[in-house]
Chain A
Amino acid sequence: MVTLAQLKSGQSSTVVDIQGGRRMADRLNALGIIPGKKITKTSAMLMRGPVTIEVDRVEVAIGFGMANKVIVRPDRVP
């Protein structure tokens, strides 16, 4: 398992855990990013910039610090 920040761009994965305060979990929950959800990382900015992911056909940008607290399990590449 890796954090969303560590996940490679283009890689799909499943959210396992959200390790942050309640507020952070609330904000991610509002965007449908919850444990068990399939997400694909589309890109990451340099210098600890935001990570962009695709969740249910919608693109979402997540600040680096937050992305570092989202634990995902990368899908096996067939």
Chain B
Amino acid sequence: MTRILLMGNPNVGKSALFSRLTGVQAIVSNYPGTTISYTRGHMKLGEEIAEVIDVPGTYTLEPTSEAEEIALRLLDSGDIVINVANAINLERNLYLTLQLLERGIPMVVALNLWDDTKHRGVDINLEKLRELLGVPVIPTVAVTGEGIKELVENISMATSPHHLPTTRDERWATIGKIIEQVQRISHRHHTWQERLADASVKPLSGGLIALAILAGSFFIIRFIGEGLINYVLDPLFNTLWSPVVLKLSQLMGGGGFLHDLVIGKIIGGELNFVESFGLLTSGLYVPLGVVLPYIVAFYLVLGILEDTGYLPRLAVLMDTIMHRLGLHGYAIIPNLLGLGCNVPAILATRILESKRERFIAATLISIAVPCAALQAMIFGLVGARGLGYVAIVYGTLFIVWIILGIILNRTVKGFSPELLIEIPPYRLPPWRTVAQKLWIRTYGFLAEAIPIILGAILVINVLYILGVFDAIANFTAPVVTGLLGLPKEAVTALVIGFLRKDVALGMLAPLALTSGQLVVGSVVLAMLFPCIATFVVMFRELGWVNMLKAVGVMIVAALATGGILNLIL
């Protein structure tokens, strides 16, 4: 099968083009480094089916980051390259184009973001460019679909003209000559997006904009999340699902092993969806009734932030602070993603250049950045005791994030390079991509979380019956009770945290904890042992030595923080 590679500089619209060509939904955002591993799809090429690969963005074939190394490795396996270039910035994009041509692989150039050329005052002579490069050059607008048909028709005409390998300086000289012949720039007045762009990286206005955006995001997420819970999901569960479950409970005799497994414990004829811990009660209510609303709210807001192009600007503002943590500003993006789910966040650390940065970032994310599922439960359970307690949980995790980062920065050997990123122009979010991303991520949550949550509840019930939890509880009582001030049964939640954090926090609900204990429990649960999915991705990304180091840091940090909180509260 013919393998087509989509290659180009970061943030030129490769993923958007990929979705257009293959119909496979890919996450599209407006910042460099959205795609950190490759996505595969298929398209019709004449009579045959060709494989299309969305390669992570790369500026050159001399890789400077993990994502760029992946791009280079993929290049050897491809038959045809569609070189996606940014029409606004032909100079720099041609550098990769020339390197690819030197490789002698058949190629077509898609000159994307073509719609921007007019208002940016860029005029490109396509005929001349085709002639000079010796390959088809097709102007495209991937987000709207313009030019895609022509591009597809031209894939079979991909050619590999003879370009001899040259040095860096010679390549730039060639580019200079090409640009001179094909590109005319006329001056244009600044648009409002450009004015806003300037304001958001200036110290004072930028800081105010950042505060406004972060505070706004928080309130919108909470507004949507709570709204969905109070007006949609709780009514659904209480009026429609509850009677069904109660009826079923009656049919099953109101008790016994199978009843407790499926329905859970019903105390005084009242159904408690969080505490009963049956498959049809907590097993459905935790993922759908508590977590899903916040997942939808969080990813909607994140998607909009990603598509406007704001995140790289936040990286610029955060750079000085992030340096204290041994990272640079761009590390704020994986950390923000971690507030959704730690797994893609740790994968996203691939945009960082050094092993040291990746270790620090992954460790900080897995310890101090609570995922949306856990946060939803924190809002549900801790929030019921007063928002002040929620603030303590978040405040503690934030302080841990800072202090741990400072410690890691002082102790981890190696070198952290400096920030160097391209800042994309502001764009109004294309609603199609926002909706598509929200769907991909929500579906991903449902497909992944529901089976694990149901499995976890099954395991919990079996372990209870077998008395395993009692044994663990007695064994760990000195730490859990002595150090953390929690009842010894709370250890079951800490153990289950390994499977799913949301379910684990739910296990603290029936223990009649004081508000202080609930705060300690939530913080320790957030910090101690990431869920199994995060473990796997840490192992894959960091290797087992560094993963064990991270786990060591995690245990010490979680117990120390929990102990201190226990003393204070």
Residues in A lying within 8 Å of B, measured CB to CB: 23, 26-32, 34, 42-50, 52, 55-66
Residues of B near A55 (CB, < 8 A) are 92
Residue of B nearest to A55 (CB): B92
Q: Count the A-B residue pairs with Cβ separation under 8 angstroms: how many?
A: 104
Residues of A near B95 (CB, < 8 A) are 30, 32
A56–B91 touching, CB < 8 Å: yes
A50–B60 touching, CB < 8 Å: no
A61–B202 touching, CB < 8 Å: no
Residues of A near B158 (CB, < 8 A) are none
Residue of A nearest to B320 (CB): A49
* Most chain A CB within a 10 A radius of its CB, from B59, B172, B201: B201
B60–A57 touching, CB < 8 Å: no
Residue of B nearest to A61 (CB): B316
B316–A45 touching, CB < 8 Å: yes
Which single member of B86, B198, B418 contacts A66 (CB below 8 Å)? B418
CB proximity of A43 to chain B, nearest CB, Å: 5
B316–A52 touching, CB < 8 Å: yes
13 A-B contacts (beta carbon < 8 Å): A23-B417, A27-B353, A30-B60, A31-B92, A31-B420, A43-B202, A45-B203, A46-B203, A47-B320, A49-B320, A50-B419, A61-B329, A63-B419
Residue of A nearest to B206 (CB): A45
Residues of A near B315 (CB, < 8 A) are 61
With A30-B62, A61-B419 already in contact, 16 other A-B pairs whose C-beta atoms are closer than 8 Å: A26-B64, A31-B92, A31-B420, A31-B422, A32-B92, A46-B203, A48-B320, A49-B319, A49-B320, A58-B86, A58-B88, A58-B423, A59-B425, A60-B422, A61-B421, A64-B418
Residues of A near B120 (CB, < 8 A) are 57
CB proximity of B174 to chain A, nearest CB, Å: 13
Which single member of B201, B422, B425 contacts A42 (CB below 8 Å)? B201
Residues of B near A58 (CB, < 8 A) are 86, 88-89, 92, 422-423
Bound state CA distance, A57 and B95, in angstroms? 16
Residue of A nearest to B86 (CB): A58
B89–A56 touching, CB < 8 Å: yes
CB proximity of A60 to chain B, nearest CB, Å: 5
Residues of A near B202 (CB, < 8 A) are 43
Let me know if B328 is at the binding interface, CB within 8 A: yes
Bound state CA distance, A65 and B416, in angstroms? 12
B198–A61 touching, CB < 8 Å: no
Let me know if B122 is at the binding interface, CB within 8 A: yes
Let me know if B168 is at the binding interface, CB within 8 A: yes
The count of residues in chain B whose C-beta lies closer than 8 Å to any C-beta of chain A is 39
Bound state CA distance, A64 and B319, in angstroms? 10
Residues of B near A42 (CB, < 8 A) are 198, 201
A59–B422 touching, CB < 8 Å: yes
Bound state CA distance, A65 and B424, in angstroms? 22
B168–A50 touching, CB < 8 Å: no
Flag B50-63 by CB within 8 Å of A: 1 or 0 each. 00000000011010
B421–A60 touching, CB < 8 Å: yes
B420–A49 touching, CB < 8 Å: no
Bound state CA distance, A62 and B168, in angstroms? 21
Bound state CA distance, A27 and B64, in angstroms? 7
A45–B317 touching, CB < 8 Å: yes
Bound state CA distance, A8 and B86, in angstroms? 29
In chain B between 318 and 350, which residues have their CB closer than 8 angstroms to a CB of chain A? 319-320, 328-329
Residues of B near A48 (CB, < 8 A) are 320
B172–A62 touching, CB < 8 Å: no
Residues of A near B452 (CB, < 8 A) are none
B420–A66 touching, CB < 8 Å: yes
* Most chain B CB within a 10 A radius of its CB, from A47, A50, A58: A50
Which single member of A34, A52, A64, A66 contacts B201 (CB below 8 Å)? A52
Q: Take A23-B64, A34-B172 as given contacts and tell me if A59 and B197 are in contact as well, using a CB distance cutoff of 8 Å.
A: yes
B423–A52 touching, CB < 8 Å: yes
Q: Take A46-B203, A50-B319, A52-B316 as given contacts and tell me if A57 and B197 are in contact as well, using a CB distance cutoff of 8 Å.
A: no
CB proximity of A7 to chain B, nearest CB, Å: 16
CB proximity of A17 to chain B, nearest CB, Å: 14
Residues of A near B422 (CB, < 8 A) are 31, 58-60
Let me know if B312 is at the binding interface, CB within 8 A: yes
Residue of A nearest to B91 (CB): A56
Bound state CA distance, A30 and B63, in angstroms? 9
B59–A31 touching, CB < 8 Å: yes
Residues of A near B418 (CB, < 8 A) are 62-66
Bound state CA distance, A66 and B422, in angstroms? 15
CB proximity of A27 to chain B, nearest CB, Å: 5
Residues of A near B185 (CB, < 8 A) are 57
Residues of A near B316 (CB, < 8 A) are 45, 49-50, 52, 61
B312–A61 touching, CB < 8 Å: yes
B122–A60 touching, CB < 8 Å: no
Residues of B near A34 (CB, < 8 A) are 172
Residues of B near A46 (CB, < 8 A) are 203, 320
Q: Take A31-B59, A61-B315 as given contacts and tell me if A56 and B92 are in contact as well, using a CB distance cutoff of 8 Å.
A: yes
CB proximity of B153 to chain A, nearest CB, Å: 30
Which single member of A26, A27, A56, A63 contacts B319 (CB below 8 Å)? A63
CB proximity of B415 to chain A, nearest CB, Å: 10
Closest 9 CB pairs of A and B: A63-B418, A30-B59, A32-B92, A63-B419, A59-B423, A49-B320, A46-B203, A61-B316, A66-B418
Residues of B near A66 (CB, < 8 A) are 418-420
In chain B between 44 and 97, which residues have their CB closer than 8 angstroms to a CB of chain A? 59-60, 62, 64, 86, 88-89, 91-92, 95
